[in-house]
Structure 1
């Protein structure tokens, strides 16, 4: 298959979100001496991640706004240990959002692969992340220059895997469906979404998923495999 357009997810596909986020959370947790409230950082982070996952589902379904998502996910861990200080949670979140886009950690081989692909293909970002963070993260990590356009769910008010977002991305980049490939780590958002509109997909299986409702076009365990496929 001859592709012209490669659509990449950003977080945990190119930019090492899980590692960068955990590092930032731990930094701010220490700064705020949260050991006075929690048994350990892992205790705090487990509480945060549980509610954060639930809230992103609610956000995708239109049940909460972006502002409410951000308010609740930072306040919930404190509430869970009996600390009702919402102003403290807000200060914590502001410091977190100030620090995280300065992190430059990338997924293994990301820069090497982008260097290889950029002269051969049109590279785009298609992400559910927030605009005020994504461009800063890409610049901090030194990868912004590889991409011709950044398409974000906020542009349309819908999240992947909604088909409208994929059609919007194709239209915004003047890309033909049959000449395009979606590359991402989220089975639900990236692979199911692309498959639903008939776009080929490369599943970057960082979570070591073993159950598949359908076979993706390509199954990657390392981004480096793209250099052999493309």
Structure 2
């Protein structure tokens, strides 16, 4: 085996964030009767949230905003983006989302199969994520994948976030591993792939839509099952 340690991103790589988030938002739409706050379309509510949330997480990755800013402002920004006033229940919407989301169980196609394959071949598996400690652990527990991983490395534990090299250094320290024994697998080009590559790690870019960049990862895959040909 060329590698010993596999570092996986979680959201959008193993855990189906879009499906889990959409289901949570549908429950919120009904629970809080958002039609009474001017939201006429649940689909618009979900798509607007997705767009706003993606932009906020990108700004977090770039160091523009802290985690707390995302939690405190995303629903306000969603209503603003839909041309609506901020509802009185905005804080409760955020709390409900953080309550519902981590309990969702959907994984991306091939995730469990790949984890079974990697664990069965003797690889040591770890998560490297910019998410919140307790939320990411809850996601993994409810989706049934927590037991696969030796370490869950978060920016809170490492005191640094991807693509900062310090989080990858912390991951290697926790794994007691050398660079050449490790490979990073993720969907985020800047945070997962460039971050790991510039730290000196091999990379697998989970790239289902076939994006292209000037730099190249060690491996580029469209489906998670393609990992079997690499490992």
TM alignment of 1:117-196, pairs within 5 A: 117-119=118-120, 120-196=122-198
- In structure 1, how many angstroms separate the alpha carbons of the residues matched to 2:190 and 2:74? 21
Structure 1 residues 29 and 193: CA distance shift in structure 2, 3 A: same
Structure 1 residues 188 and 209: CA distance shift in structure 2, 3 A: farther
CA offsets per residue over residues 5-51 of structure 1, 9 Å max, x none? 00000111111111111111122112212123123123223332333
* 8 Å contact kept, 2:61–2:191: no
- In structure 2, how many angstroms separate the alpha carbons of the residues matched to 1:191 and 1:60? 13
- In structure 2, how many angstroms separate the alpha carbons of the residues matched to 1:157 and 1:224? 32
Q: What secondary structure sits across from 1:224 in the alignment?
A: helix
The corresponding residue for 2:32 is 32
What is the deviation of 1:136?
A: 0.7
Q: What secondary structure sits across from 2:11 in the alignment?
A: coil
Gaps of 5+ in 1: none
* 8 Å contact kept, 1:47–1:76: no
Question: How many residues get paired?
Answer: 228
TM alignment of 1:4-23, pairs within 5 A: 4-23=4-23
TM-score by length of 2: 0.92
* 8 Å contact kept, 1:60–1:158: no
* 8 Å contact kept, 1:3–1:179: yes
The corresponding residue for 1:52 is 53
What is the deviation of 1:154?
A: 1.5
The corresponding residue for 2:117 is 116
Q: What secondary structure sits across from 2:89 in the alignment?
A: helix
TM alignment of 1:86-125, pairs within 5 A: 87-119=88-120, 120-125=122-127
Structure 1 residues 122 and 156: CA distance shift in structure 2, 3 A: same
Q: What secondary structure sits across from 2:159 in the alignment?
A: coil
Q: What secondary structure sits across from 1:64 in the alignment?
A: coil
- In structure 2, how many angstroms separate the alpha carbons of the residues matched to 1:50 and 1:228? 34
Structure 1 residues 196 and 90: CA distance shift in structure 2, 3 A: same
Gaps of 5+ in 2: none
